[in-house]
Structure 1
Amino acid sequence: MKIPKLAFFFIFAVCLVVYLTYVKRHYDGTKSSVSDQRPQFSHDPHTHLTSVRVVSENFQYGIMFDAGSTGTRIHIFKFQVEPNEAPKLAQETFRALKPGLSAYADDPEKSKEGLMELLKVAKDTVPDTLWSSTPLMLRATAGLRLLPGEKANILLNEVREVFSESFFLYRPDSVSIMDGTDEGMSAWITVNFLIGGLHGSDTPTVGMLDLGGGSTQITFALQDEKTIQTSPIDYVTSFQMFNTSHALYSHSYLGLGLMSARLAVLGGIEAQPLEGPQELMSPCLAPDYSGQWEHGEVIYKLKGQKAGEPIYESCLRKVEKMIYKRVREAEEVKDVDFYAFSYYYDRAVDLGLIDENTGGTVKVKDYIEGAKKVCNNMSAGEIKENPFLCLDLTYVSVLLQELGFSPDKELKLARKINDVETSWALGATFHCIESIRKQGTC
């Protein structure tokens, strides 16, 4: 039977439509499949976001445990990462526990409970989809540096055991005792990162002074070639960030943190209890003072010494004798603006020189005059809540002058810059993330 031409064209048209429909559906399915396989740069559940917004919400987290001499603190940093730009700090989560890790030196197993409590804070803060790409680190400072024998290593192994089960990005060498110079450098990075001095702008960098419990640090960018040539080799360090090299003068004085220095001025020895009814007598305490002080898990009995001259002069000589030739003067500090932290800040608050919440600016001579006033008031029988304030202020004023600061030198005191804690933890975390990005390890 012969098919009419009209019917033939009708059948051909139907077949063509069916074929084209099949091809379109197959192409759409393939396109959708390919689209689903593209790398995801954001873990935001809102899938309708544009690609521009996805890029602007590409975040990197970093977790740093600060195992200090008086407590263990966790810093959880959230960085916003933009292509070809310096990362910006989007958020910080902070928690702290007492006592410090070194307090568990004789019973290291007990340290795990606090570590796990702080890790829970991290898991509640970082999205679980990012755990495996979030570096987890612990850096111990003077508290563990001062522990005898293998006690510090045993404690660090306990930390490694806890961290290995955390699901975060962790390597055994991510847990360590921080070198004093690294501590100073990291704090310097923190401050200058927050003020914008590392972002290739015209903002000059500033120096950093930190006075902890067991050690004290000074760090500033070197400008004078003479300083580089005349400084001990371990006082000069350098690193590169944002394609810029930085040469730093940085040193940590172990045993010259405020608590360790206080013990030395009082006549005690680190980690050595007194025998029997023995007492430490000092002219830096009120003449009628009698009490106890706990430091490094050791309780010391203290007594004021009846001095034949005003307390300030007697205490000053004790402090100067203790610190004699233990600190190196840095000539360049007179030309550099400095931020000062930790006990520098706390003792300025005690004197009423700055607001406890907002900080401020002081001169070195403010500490000197404050020490004289507090010590003289103790001579008159006035003892405030802190019986060590005379000793502490005298030590701070002497330390600053030994480092090369004149009485008229101004220092900026801050606990936070742009609402971010000014500890070394941010600098160390940021430096680690930069190293991972460039070298695959920190």
Structure 2
Amino acid sequence: MAASWLAIFLMLALSSIYCIVSHPSPDMWFQGLFPPSVCLANARTNTFYGIMFDAGSTGTRIHIYTFVQKNPEQPPELEGEIFESVKPGLSAYVDQPEKGAETVKGLLKMAKEAVPCSHWKETPVVLKATAGLRLLPEPKAQALLSEVREVFEKSPFLVPNNSVSIMDGSSEGVLAWITVNFLTGQLYGQNQTTVGTLDLGGASTQITFLPRSEETLEQTPVDFVTSFEMFNSTYKLYTHSYLGFGLKAARLATLGALEMKVVDGQMFRSSCLPKRLEAEWHFGGMRYQYGGNREDYEKGGVLEVRDFERKAKEVCDNMDRYTSASPFLCMDLSYITALLKEGFGFGDNTLLQLTKKVNNIETSWALGATFHLLQSLGLSH
């Protein structure tokens, strides 16, 4: 399977740097701040915007995209992105849904400042939750989404049907594939070569690529194949999401925390962690007590699979040196190595392109989702 790829983009969602933004007072939010009669900000007539929230397991992120439609026969041009995030993710507010919605309010205020008020009513806002909420009990997940939906409905933006939802893993993989291939110029023009994507998140991991031969598609399970149309072309992709195989879920499995009913603050020990280590970790609304120099993720880089294994051995043989900076590094590198070699079957010399941004745009599924949204609303071609 790996031989059919021109390149592989490995998106390490957990490596993102998050910034905390202050939250506005609920009493002051939106009401009376910008009456229509005093809206003076205007944008070009061929400019439009899209607001996409990524509610992940480790944080909530907002992507505010600006597009310019210069030629109706061509895809719109992405002029820029404003990106911000807050931690923890919505799933951490499993028993406090109102507080979870407050984090969305703070990020949405940024959108009001970024989008000209003349375009608010025609700028769609959508939130898609990923594996963090997929792992929660259905009633608790829906309570969180209901609070967020109420926030959106009070905003001045366009709120489409199903504007707040939990996205299935296959869609997450496909939309990330669209993002990367759009940003690298593979989805339009005469270039028919595409790149595959691996997305390693907190609770799940996705693999997506465009098979080169019909034989690959014929041997693939039906539910691993999806077709869609984008920019006047039809694509049939291999895609699958493995829930529970994200990096933080793998930590819980290694610690044995998935095999029992966990009490908040419970201690877990593992031989994969330094002997004298005792620390605390928060994930998915729970608090865990636990004991027992990679690529610059902003700039990215090209690595071979063997590089992960080599680094894992170096770190695991010298765990005391890495304890204070990154206590999970040995465990994480060992898991990534096993996932790439044993899980996906890549060889030692398979090249991986690690990238967080392309042309200063986040390689998240959010851009692909925004394109799909704007196309469904008839705002782009």
TM-aligned CA deviation for residue 439 of structure 1 = 11
Q: Aligned residue for 2:365?
A: 424
Of 30, 35, 53 in structure 2, the residue corresponding to residue 65 of structure 1 is 53
Q: Which runs of 5+ in 1 are unaligned?
A: 1-42, 47-53, 305-350
Tell me, in whole angstroms, the C-alpha distance in 2 between the residues paired with 1:45 and 1:393: 49
Alignment of 1:374 onto 2:362: no
The DSSP-based 3-state class of the residue aligned with 1:375 is helix
| TM-score, with length taken from structure 2 | 0.84
Of 391, 412, 431 in structure 1, the residue corresponding to residue 353 of structure 2 is 412
Tell me, in whole angstroms, the C-alpha distance in 2 between the residues paired with 1:141 and 1:84: 33
Alignment of 1:129 onto 2:118: yes
Alignment of 1:110 onto 2:99: yes
* Structure 1 or 2: more helix by fraction: 1
TM-aligned CA deviation for residue 45 of structure 1 = 6.2
TM-aligned CA deviation for residue 94 of structure 1 = 1.2
Alignment of 1:144 onto 2:133: yes
TM-aligned CA deviation for residue 113 of structure 1 = 2.0
Tell me, in whole angstroms, the C-alpha distance in 1 between the residues paired with 2:153 and 2:316: 51
Q: Aligned residue for 2:302?
A: 361
Cα distance change on mapping 1:371 and 1:258 into 2, 3 Å: same
The DSSP-based 3-state class of the residue aligned with 1:294 is strand
The DSSP-based 3-state class of the residue aligned with 1:268 is coil
Tell me, in whole angstroms, the C-alpha distance in 2 between the residues paired with 1:240 and 1:381: 50
Q: Aligned residue for 2:234?
A: 245
The DSSP-based 3-state class of the residue aligned with 1:176 is strand
Matched residue count:
340
Tell me, in whole angstroms, the C-alpha distance in 2 between the residues paired with 1:172 and 1:161: 13
Q: Aligned residue for 1:403?
A: 344
Tell me, in whole angstroms, the C-alpha distance in 2 between the residues paired with 1:153 and 1:383: 38
Tell me, in whole angstroms, the C-alpha distance in 2 between the residues paired with 1:200 and 1:233: 30
Tell me, in whole angstroms, the C-alpha distance in 2 between the residues paired with 1:362 and 1:244: 32
Bigger relative CO (Cα 8 Å, ≥ 6 apart): 2
| TM-score, with length taken from structure 1 | 0.73
Cα distance change on mapping 1:115 and 1:279 into 2, 3 Å: closer
Tell me, in whole angstroms, the C-alpha distance in 1 between the residues paired with 2:159 and 2:139: 23
The DSSP-based 3-state class of the residue aligned with 1:150 is helix
The DSSP-based 3-state class of the residue aligned with 2:339 is helix
Tell me, in whole angstroms, the C-alpha distance in 2 between the residues paired with 1:302 and 1:413: 29
Tell me, in whole angstroms, the C-alpha distance in 2 between the residues paired with 1:45 and 1:182: 34
The DSSP-based 3-state class of the residue aligned with 1:64 is strand
Q: Aligned residue for 1:388?
A: 328
Q: Deviations over 1:358-393 (max 9, x none)?
A: 111001000001111111112x77635211111100
Query: Is the contact made by 1:196 and 1:203 (CA closer than 8 Å) also made in structure 2?
Result: no
Q: Deviations over 1:108-160 (max 9, x none)?
A: 11223222211111111111111111111000011111111300111111111
Query: Is the contact made by 1:263 and 1:270 (CA closer than 8 Å) also made in structure 2?
Result: no
Query: Is the contact made by 1:69 and 1:214 (CA closer than 8 Å) also made in structure 2?
Result: yes
Query: Is the contact made by 1:286 and 1:381 (CA closer than 8 Å) also made in structure 2?
Result: no
The DSSP-based 3-state class of the residue aligned with 2:272 is coil
Tell me, in whole angstroms, the C-alpha distance in 2 between the residues paired with 1:128 and 1:227: 49
The DSSP-based 3-state class of the residue aligned with 1:301 is strand
Query: Is the contact made by 1:377 and 1:383 (CA closer than 8 Å) also made in structure 2?
Result: no
Q: Which runs of 5+ in 2 are unaligned?
A: 1-39
Query: Is the contact made by 2:42 and 2:116 (CA closer than 8 Å) also made in structure 1?
Result: no
Of 182, 193, 201 in structure 1, the residue corresponding to residue 171 of structure 2 is 182
Q: Deviations over 1:252-298 (max 9, x none)?
A: 1111100001110111128942489x642322112333333332232
TM alignment of 1:186-197, pairs within 5 A: 186-197=175-186
Cα distance change on mapping 1:270 and 1:120 into 2, 3 Å: farther
Tell me, in whole angstroms, the C-alpha distance in 1 between the residues paired with 2:42 and 2:51: 23
More divergent stretch after superposition (186-195 vs 99-108): 99-108
Q: Aligned residue for 1:10?
A: none
Alignment of 1:282 onto 2:266: no
Alignment of 1:292 onto 2:280: yes
Alignment of 1:156 onto 2:145: yes
**Structure of higher CA gyration radius:** 1
The DSSP-based 3-state class of the residue aligned with 1:285 is coil
User: RMSD between aligned alpha carbons?
Assistant: 2.3
The DSSP-based 3-state class of the residue aligned with 2:346 is coil
Quick one: which amino acid aligns to residue 394 of structure 1? Answer: S
Quick one: which amino acid aligns to residue 87 of structure 2? Answer: K
The DSSP-based 3-state class of the residue aligned with 2:378 is helix
